[in-house]
A and B are shown apart, each in its own frame.
Chain A
């Protein structure tokens, strides 16, 4: 007679009965409660993960034996937050056989420990929180599992780590979730180097370059907690760019990197540009705007757009041109491809290093994505102040002192007035008494050193503002000058003299003491990308509104005084005829070019 591990029927009966009582009590209490909150009655309140297996589902018992042997039983028996992917007994038998053993007990202790660790995530993750690609938290082996949804008969199932399918999901235990799987999960033990070598011939040029430049060797190094992300390019993506051979690639690279003469360096830079430190699955890339690459001071930029993740979209504001982004091939086999020491991402087009000259950016700060979409945006001839809720602005972050302050205002002027001559007639209204700080995401800044100017209409009771420039992974840069927002523009002094004291005139038509611009300081943009500029109120002056109009990022070697801006937002250069400056029917200040 076979021995069974089932608990005695009377126990099942009691357990079931007590469950009913729990449910009944819960239902009784819930009669007045909000049923919007999802009716989750945790009936297995008292059962731990291991108890579930012993009491409810013996088809996962082998894994529990391994857990015992590996010394993890205490952990999954204790309170905690775990998500376990537990292979069935059949799955473990099949794995044992595949490895040429007759029993799991023939594996070494380390092998068993690693096996258990790779099946447990130290976080409670219902499958509803799984995203396409990697799980939000790593396994205890410090490697990530990936998941993907697959159609299966009348339903859809989740495949884990490209190996097992979840046959029963979200089994809620007191200390976490169990997901039952039909295969043992094993980490990919092949390094990035190995997997790149294994890529099919359709990646031949990429493979050649990685090998020749020595990057393939460095990607073979596997150290704990050192990860790399490699961005692949198939031959097709080179061909789309007109590159069909190594020689083509070299000549293309030398055209975009004219200062580099050595063929070796060109190819090395290309290869380095496709390797980043750190582990970045698609889910991670979607959250960052720029990623430092192995090529010095060269970044990849990322942007989510209409369901796609685009790489290196580049908008040249002053030239009014756009370089289209290259999509990450999310459904490619080689995207989110876990390797022993990192992950591979497959690109849908040519992506390579490029030197972009530092370029002045004259930013009208009302150009926030949510504001641009308003019907009222830059509506002509209308004076208005529209509340924009703070949490609605995706590219601004606020620290507020007064919780009643929930919105800033987008303001427009109905007609020209030299005292309110905002570029495009518009501005954003802030109250630095209520706000402790506001951070704004800058437009794309190319690598270089810039003077940063704030252009605003003076107002208030002496708010003093400090500015901090923040780049991911770099030290914050505090800008040199603290400015006072009620300061008047000095209308009497000559421009050149004022420049030395960090003040300039930015409104083109007329000189007026209310329209002021102050040098905040100099920043070093270390990598091309969108970064954050943070304004901190340092004195929380008496409550009053101020109107911020523009921020100028001007390379230090460029002209700081010109262009100025008229109310239509046109850049006006020195010597421009007054008739070309909006509003064109009005007269300009005398000696416009000098003061």
Chain B
């Protein structure tokens, strides 16, 4: 399978005339009708859809849209002004990072499969209904994933179901409301799930192609965004019960430490286990806790490593916001023992000015990945996300009636994630010490825990927005954006950013100006429509 992706990449590389790696296209976008002759042709087009995810620009946006407006990542000295302006909350309609074209490229390829695959049955008798349904399901689910990124980032976007030979502007599509798109994605995914395999028979394909489980994870995530908490919790229950995934354990040794006037029972983790965990999750990839990863080849002669470009080098583009990460996200143990630490902190998620998850070759050394040699996968979903999605859904369900059974169950999932990582206990994390668990405190803990667990994995801004937009951006939820602004904004931009965050539309990205200009039916995000020139 992987070999096939590589072959396609290799072919496509020879086809690209432009030497600049940024315009490198992993696959030739759309193939002519001549091509649709056999089920093998269909399969390679489906694989082509996955290969299109390897485009560096796509991964940049998954990172930037998910992190840069939030508080964990900041820009290094070498970052361009477009990136620096995003951190400052100054996003113009000409900011190149608003460009969504790579997402539509993948969507278009999925549409191509959906449009042309059925007819292949007429020319290839061996192409079974079942296999056709599976390919269509893969395309539907992958398309849903792309649209879900777009809806979370832009809210309302053009929804295209047609394969075009060039691009989406052919149709001059207007925007469709985000809520409507999500409803459609839900029904698409429900259809897809019925036809997707549980397994492709090998581990790499199970993590790199859409299975029933990854489609269910995506659907659970969409439900969470839609505030359909029961739907989300039910799907998570299925995934947890599937036995397909588990947390990679880290062994610990219990010790007692004097902490002020009391004696704490704390743990020392096995360093070698932590090193191994880092290797399995981020270096080797496709681990037992992985659900869906974009499968960058481990080594490649010519494909440029997007991770190296933005996270490595002497002056990385994006660097950890150390003050926030080391103080707010990973609080230190207050007792006198520096060996008690959250394994996800320093040296794991980040190391100095590096986002180590994406460039570290080993946790224990400072050896970073090198260009063109080794590069990691981009992780879209990992098992802890299912646990924490379920916790979040249960907490929201319990909010109205303070259902302690649900809250207790939710807290249990959070603890499962925390215990594996030897998370440091603070008053905010110990919720069951005094009787009832407060839903509000648990909601905040889950949000914080996601910050720790998925630091730099393209989730933080979406987490913040999901909480802030709940109940129609209610006043009570503004604290999420407020804290984000305090943590992330330069102090001389804080006051203006707090004003802007009061506007729902500011929380979404503008559409790139040139795209608006090219499509007369496309209306700019109203926040940016009047103020930008």
Tell me the A residues contacting B by CB distance below 8 Å.
31-40, 127-128, 130-133, 148-151, 154-158, 168-172, 282-283, 286, 304, 306-307, 309, 330-331, 370, 373-375, 377-380, 387-389, 391-392, 406
Contact = CB atoms under 8 A, between A and B. Distances in A.
Contacts of A148: 495-496
B434 interface: no
Interface string B62-78: 00000000000000010
Contacts of A392: 352-353
A155 B529 contact: yes
> Closest 8 A-B residue pairs measured CB to CB?
A149-B496, A128-B90, A131-B492, A38-B82, A307-B486, A154-B526, A132-B495, A375-B346
Nearest to B526: A154
B491 A39 contact: no
A213 to B, nearest CB: 33
Given A155-B503, A156-B503, 19 more contacts: A36-B60, A36-B83, A36-B97, A38-B80, A38-B94, A130-B496, A151-B499, A154-B503, A155-B526, A156-B527, A168-B533, A170-B92, A307-B486, A307-B491, A307-B494, A370-B322, A373-B326, A375-B346, A389-B353
B243 to A, nearest CB: 35
Contacts of B97: 36
A45 B95 CA distance: 19
B23 interface: yes
B532 interface: yes
Nearest to A304: B491
A33 B499 contact: no
A35 B57 CA distance: 9
A444 B490 CA distance: 24
B254 to A, nearest CB: 20
B26 interface: no
A151 B505 CA distance: 12
Interface string B337-352: 0110100011100001
Looking at chain A's contact residues, is the secondary structure mostly helix, strand, loop, or mixed?
A: mixed
Contacts of A157: 531
Interface string B476-494: 0000000001100111111
Nearest to A407: B352
B418 interface: no
Interface of B: 18-20, 22-23, 57, 60, 77, 80-83, 85, 88, 90, 92, 94-97, 99, 314-315, 322, 326-327, 338-339, 341, 345-347, 352-353, 366, 485-486, 489-497, 499-500, 502-503, 505-506, 512-514, 526-533
B99 A387 contact: no
13 contacts: A32-B19, A36-B60, A36-B82, A36-B96, A128-B85, A131-B492, A330-B494, A375-B341, A379-B338, A380-B338, A387-B366, A388-B352, A389-B352
A172 B533 contact: yes
Contacts of A168: 533
Contacts of B88: 128
Contacts of A304: 491
A375 B83 CA distance: 29
Nearest to A403: B314
A306 B486 contact: yes
Contact of B314 (A282, A330, A406): A406
Contact of A35 (B18, B96, B314, B338): B96
A171 to B, nearest CB: 5
A156 B322 contact: no
Interface centre among B338, B493, B531 (most CB of A within 10 A): B531
Contacts of B92: 38, 128, 170
Contacts of A31: 18, 23
Interface centre among B366, B491, B500, B528 (most CB of A within 10 A): B491
A299 to B, nearest CB: 21
Contact of B530 (A39, A155, A391): A155
A379 B491 CA distance: 33
A154 B97 CA distance: 23
A483 to B, nearest CB: 31
Contacts of B366: 387
B492 A286 contact: yes
Given A35-B96, A37-B82, A378 B533 contact: no
Given A31-B18, A306-B486, A132 B322 contact: no
Nearest to B530: A155
A375 B77 contact: no
Contacts of A377: 338
B493 A373 contact: no
B308 to A, nearest CB: 15
A36 B85 CA distance: 13
Given A128-B85, A307-B486, A155 B492 contact: no
B494 A132 contact: yes
Interface centre among A34, A133, A156 (most CB of B within 10 A): A156
B90 A127 contact: yes
A420 B347 CA distance: 27
Nearest to A392: B353
Given A37-B80, A37-B82, A387-B352, A133 B492 contact: yes
A34 B20 contact: yes
B493 A151 contact: no
A419 to B, nearest CB: 25
B505 A36 contact: no
A170 B60 CA distance: 27
A133 B495 CA distance: 9
A155 B531 contact: yes
Given A36-B80, A38-B81, A375-B341, A131 B506 contact: no
Contact of A375 (B338, B485, B527): B338
